[in-house]
Amino acid sequence: MPLVQTKYFGTMSYEDESVFDFPCGLPAFDEEKRFVFIEIAEHTPLVFLQSLSRPSLCFLALPALVVDPDYCLAVSVEDRAALELALEREPRPEDGMLALALVSLHDGLSATANLMAPIVVNVRARCAVQAIRMDRRYSHQHPVPGLGIAPVCEGAC
Amino acid sequence: MLVLRRRAGESLLIGDDIEIEMLELTPQGAKIGIRAPRETIVLRKELKITREQNTHAARGPESGDLGKALPGIFSQQLKNLPSNR
């Protein structure tokens, strides 16, 4: 099995099914075109997007539906083409789609998720794009539910 | 912010060498043409925001600090949330 040097979990072996192609890279990381998606039981429902070419690059992501149970996808025609999807309509859940929101930590105290530009994954074709929404329906810094200030007490709680 | 009303086919000028023309207006949005010097960077604002946000997200916890950083922020609170998988 192939091996990948990860940012958080040392060297890991991975299945080819866990690798997703990002044909366009990600904004600010245009050269990063292949990521392994790592799920660790103790960190569920977090998904770690580990770059295959850069061990120090690993995004934390949450399924958009975890961040907002009513989240609705909106994918532009250009992004549908990159995802090898039907161009004439929005992707539907039965198309095997997954939307992941990249997570940002703020001084270790709180976290936000980018619902404005989710990573939209075509699970069947094993490819993904960061699909920037054209509408203003969701924030690029959506608070992650239940994540206000981390507990500061030690031992007592 | 300066607010102007323009119709399709009308333009406005920014400085000496940038022209913005309204090409088409529809309920779905405005189609805009921009004439600017080659060295002027024209960027959708959402793309700039996404770049900045990605750069921030990529910092994440330090490689040795995951166990320390996440339990307080994620593991406990998120376990009870619905998952789509």
From A52, A74, A53, A58, select the one nearest A118 (Cα to Cα): A74
Residue A54 lies inside a defined structural domain of this protein: yes
Say how many C-beta atoms besides its own lie within 10 A of residue B23's C-beta: 11
Distance CA A44, CA B85 (A): 11
At residue B77, does pLDDT exceed 60?
Answer: no
For residue A8, the chain B residues in CB contact (below 8 A) are 61, 63, 66
Are B60 and A105 spatial neighbours (Cβ–Cβ below 8 Å)?
yes
In a domain, A153, yes or no: no
Please state, for a pLDDT cut of 90, what percent of chain B lies above it: 59
A59 to chain B: closest CA residue: B58
d(CA B65, CA B43): 36
Measured between alpha carbons, how far is B22 from B9 in angstroms, rounded to an integer?
Answer: 5
- Whether residue A105 is predicted with pLDDT greater than 70 in this model: the reply is yes
Residue A68 lies in a domain: yes
Q: Does A66 touch chain B (CB under 8 A)?
A: yes
Query: Where are the strands (E) in A19-124, listed by range?
Result: 19-21, 34-38, 47-51, 58-63, 97-106, 110-113, 119-122
DSSP A95-146: GTEEEEEEEEEETTTEEEE--SS-EEEETTTTEEEE---SSSSS-TTEEPTT
Q: Is residue A148 part of a domain?
A: no
CATH of the domain at A129: 2.30.290.10
- Which helix (H) or strand (E) segment holds residue A67: the answer is helix A64-67
Do the domain assignments include residue A32? yes
A27 vs B47, B61, B84: nearest CB: B47
Q: Is the peptide bond before A45 cis (omega within 30 degrees of 0)?
A: yes
Contacts of A66 in chain B (CB under 8 A): 78, 81-84
CA distance B71 to B66: 8
Question: Residue A24 is part of which domain span?
Answer: 3-143
Pick the range with the lowest mean pLDDT from A11-20, A117-126, B40-49, B76-85.
B76-85
Contact partners, residue A88, CB within 8 Å, separation at least 6: none
Domain total in chain A: 1
Give domain status of residue A21, yes or no: yes
Is A56 among the domain residues? yes
Query: Comparing A156 with A139, which gets the higher pLDDT?
Result: A139
pTM, rounded to two decimals: 0.82
pLDDT of residue A152: 42
For residue B27, how many other CB atoms are within 10 A of its CB? 4
Is the ipTM, as predicted for this complex, more than 0.90?
no
Q: What pLDDT digit, counting tens, does each position of A94-103 carry?
A: 788 999 999 9
Other Cβ atoms closer than 10 A to B7 = 7
Q: Six-digit token pair at A147?
A: 């994540």
Specify if A157 maps to a domain: no
